[in-house]
Structure 1
């Protein structure tokens, strides 16, 4: 049996960070196992091609949920990366840390040491911000972060201006002091290429003699001796292999894969394991519970000027965009096209933003297909602090059988109310003078959707996952916590979970940035290093949050 000091399961956003940091000083033998294969594809590396790997079986687990009872029984698409870089190689590359309050919320939930002041230095350590470092931003890290094409399309700035006219603030850097407001959006792109966890962290480390990376490896279970994890069993090229960890096994298989693998290993809720025919080796009722995700829908409008990306969807235009990117790594091929955004609060009494906007100067679906003939634009909007909770549940002892996934979307009335606010507040923003020269007919939801009942019916039929599953192996100390604040699985030795599954609650934003931060900090904890000192930076929190939903009255009231 081959022996390593650390075995990492999953070469995704977190796993690549850990592989780099744990092998950095050369003292430890590190094995990184990944079921998928190489990320050397133009469709992964070219930012504008983001819809392709997400919808390709070669690069992503194409999971589907169980019928969601509050979404008209629909099964929701839940892709997860199956390639070096994991979901950072198939995602939309949007870089949002979340609000400072999200991480203070983690600490209040029992994740001691994971408040914003202790997380901020690890956000900074990870990133290389294109516009230089400051109190909030890092400029020496491996992860490239920029603003794509600097909002060259006039629709981007028009959306920001409309937000200000609607009574909200402008924010120059939502990852800095103040998240709330409208401004440029950031993306994980470096020199025109996707800055995935594989590109940023893994590839520079792969030449190290003490790091072994094995692709095509399907892990069947964690091997336990009593209450200690001693290795893993995996299948590769049709053969079963076992490897031993002299120090620790670390699961970084993601919010679906990590709880599923724990359950396959006999770790979880005893009733769940028995129903799947799996022996109970370590009862831990929270495994797979507390599952959370963001939902969103597209607010789509026709555009009165021929300046949108809908005019660039022909084969010749795609060829020109791709050719320019191959030769120069710039132009429309070098951006994810989400270059402006907004973060607002859904109502007075909400202390920090719970709604997020991604603006796109096109009207199209996530799979890249046109929404309608002609020019259009859309804004993705979602309620980002859901109270609905779901589960990931093993079905059988066969690791190839996908687990049952149920988010229970919109099962909490606060989430339903949040989406009503999404519809009404967005119409007010899009209706401001800044967009008068561009705004045409409202295609979706459509002007006839007005009452609570009509909005609720539209949302049930139209919302999609924002692809942010998380929280299914939550960190904390309560009865449903799976890992402690050191990321160690409760009640076991030599076993940790490090990925977005350990978030206690979901942040207000996309999840790649906080996942990388978690892995950066966890690496120090695993190595026994003193964590980086807290940075008590000032946080922009609206003084009026209890009384007002926004600071000023809109220029034009909602009709």
Structure 2
């Protein structure tokens, strides 16, 4: 095995798989891809609905827990993150959402030249292989985007009809020219299998002789000569190894692992690093700050109409679904449970979309997250309605627990720490109840199981939100992009301030969280980041 490469990419997650593919396309540039986890060749990863089993599997999941959160009544929050080839894109619900155009225009307005909606749209379409022709989508790209509208459970149409009756627009494409409204989600699958960036970008590229993948290899620090990053130290098989990079080191560990590795390497707040006995390579106080995430709650409704529970709870139903999936890769096992939803304004006069809705034709009240068991559908007909504010204003942080690279970091999301976030939660609670009380959904509901009719007042609903709400698994922002090194970590070309030859390319660079699921924007960031690396190499 060689110990010197042109590029070293740390993390074979959503972004790292894209980078490994794009940086080796010329057949000449050598790339080492390091991954702390192992193989993604598991039926529970590759079968779309199998993520219910990977949710608590420590073999492929970091299984983080946050610190106690004041806004949630002192509860901590469980944060599953992928520790496997494909990263969190191997264990997520596969929902493909780019976000609202204003999300990226806000990035550009904050001083990040080249990151407005018109700038990033070509990189979204570059990665796509969309089901049908559309002026707003790509065809022939590596990652397939599937329209599930013909295959959604029938009760999802009742949700759309109900929301439309309340005056919300209906959109045929959350990623098209009219992303606002209610509709059906698109997902990253191909032929009934998960279309993670591992499957779409990495595995095809592994045939190239200029790409090397090393799994079970956890990076412990970035190596420097002066201000220039020249390599990585990593632990594999209980031993420390070092590898060198001729051109650049790229961190793609995500919103938890990338800032952690920077701090372990002496890049972060100098005072905090000194407390752990870590020498300061570069004083960047923003490393680990600006942590943002989507926080959601679900309302569970028992109904007189058949739902996915009726298909997937009985043993016979599971067997039939498995046989259908084996026969033609269709049926409920080929889909996500997040089948319909929307991006709406909580009030008609709200200036922008501020709530994301989810309608899932399934429920699992009998397996709460605290039990950390396989998510299993309830033995009765039910569905759930959920929402989260799109652009929370609360900001959390991440810091080292110790100088031990294997110690999990301290994660404090600081949820519900602003009045704006609390106001949006109140509005979302009202909206869910309004939808459930409107026809045709109201005609099929027999009982609100959770939180139940006893939670009636606005204050009771807010208290219920604090007691039950949890992450939507979208942590971002901990290595934020920006022009000012005092409040950001990377510049608009994703280079770490105050260093040479070191970039961060993953969801941690988001200056502000996007309005929706974060996997698709992370792919875009990786596509754009790879293009920047190659452009800079040509200039040199």
TM over 0.5: yes
Structure 2 residue runs of 5 or longer lacking an equivalent are none
Deviation track 1:134-186 (CA, whole Å, cap 9, x = no partner) reads: 22111211111113372442211110111100111111111111121111111
Equivalent residue number for residue 20 of structure 1 = 21
Equivalent residue number for residue 517 of structure 2 = 510
Q: Is the 8 A contact 2:53 2:375 kept in 1?
A: no
Note if 1:289 corresponds to 2:289. yes
Change (3 A) 1:293 1:242: same
Equivalent residue number for residue 116 of structure 2 = 115
Note if 1:276 corresponds to 2:307. no
- Deviation of 1:309 (Å): 2.4
Equivalent residue number for residue 256 of structure 1 = 256
87-96 or 430-439, larger mean C-alpha shift: 430-439
Equivalent residue number for residue 482 of structure 1 = 489
- Deviation of 1:299 (Å): 1.4
CA distance in 2, matches of 1:151, 1:445: 30
The DSSP-based 3-state class of the residue aligned with 1:527 is helix
Q: Is the 8 A contact 2:55 2:374 kept in 1?
A: no
Equivalent residue number for residue 543 of structure 1 = none
CA distance in 1, matches of 2:66, 2:482: 26
Note if 1:426 corresponds to 2:438. no
The DSSP-based 3-state class of the residue aligned with 1:169 is coil
The DSSP-based 3-state class of the residue aligned with 1:139 is coil
Deviation track 1:255-288 (CA, whole Å, cap 9, x = no partner) reads: 0000000000000001221122211111101000
CA distance in 2, matches of 1:397, 1:337: 40
Aligned length: 530
Equivalent residue number for residue 386 of structure 2 = 380
- Deviation of 1:53 (Å): 1.4
Equivalent residue number for residue 403 of structure 2 = 397
CA distance in 2, matches of 1:194, 1:441: 35
Equivalent residue number for residue 91 of structure 2 = 90
Equivalent residue number for residue 356 of structure 1 = 356
- Deviation of 1:511 (Å): 0.4
- Deviation of 1:345 (Å): 1.2
Q: Is the 8 A contact 2:325 2:331 kept in 1?
A: yes
The DSSP-based 3-state class of the residue aligned with 1:410 is coil
Equivalent residue number for residue 184 of structure 2 = 184
Note if 1:333 corresponds to 2:333. yes
CA distance in 2, matches of 1:11, 1:419: 35
The DSSP-based 3-state class of the residue aligned with 2:454 is coil
CA distance in 1, matches of 2:501, 2:308: 53
- Superposed CA RMSD in Å reads 1.7
Deviation track 1:432-454 (CA, whole Å, cap 9, x = no partner) reads: 22224422211222223232321
The two structures have a TM-score, normalised by structure 1, of: 0.92
CA distance in 2, matches of 1:124, 1:311: 36
Q: Is the 8 A contact 1:148 1:336 kept in 2?
A: no
CA distance in 1, matches of 2:144, 2:362: 25
Change (3 A) 1:243 1:369: closer
- Deviation of 1:338 (Å): 1.9
The two structures have a TM-score, normalised by structure 2, of: 0.95
430-439 or 14-23, larger mean C-alpha shift: 430-439
CA distance in 1, matches of 2:380, 2:374: 15
Change (3 A) 1:30 1:322: same
Q: Is the 8 A contact 1:179 1:353 kept in 2?
A: no
Q: Is the 8 A contact 2:94 2:187 kept in 1?
A: yes
Equivalent residue number for residue 506 of structure 2 = 499
Q: How does 1:46-445 map to 2 (within 5 A)?
A: 46-132=47-133, 134-148=134-148, 150-348=150-348, 350-364=350-364, 369=375, 373-445=379-451
The DSSP-based 3-state class of the residue aligned with 1:433 is coil
Q: Is the 8 A contact 1:110 1:475 kept in 2?
A: no
Structure 1 residue runs of 5 or longer lacking an equivalent are 532-559
- Deviation of 1:412 (Å): 0.8
CA distance in 1, matches of 2:378, 2:26: 54
Deviation track 1:4-56 (CA, whole Å, cap 9, x = no partner) reads: 00000000000000000000111200000001000000000001111211211
Q: Is the 8 A contact 1:124 1:138 kept in 2?
A: yes
Spell out structure 1 runs of 4+ moving beyond 6 A.
Answer: none
148-157 or 269-278, larger mean C-alpha shift: 148-157
Q: Is the 8 A contact 1:46 1:333 kept in 2?
A: yes
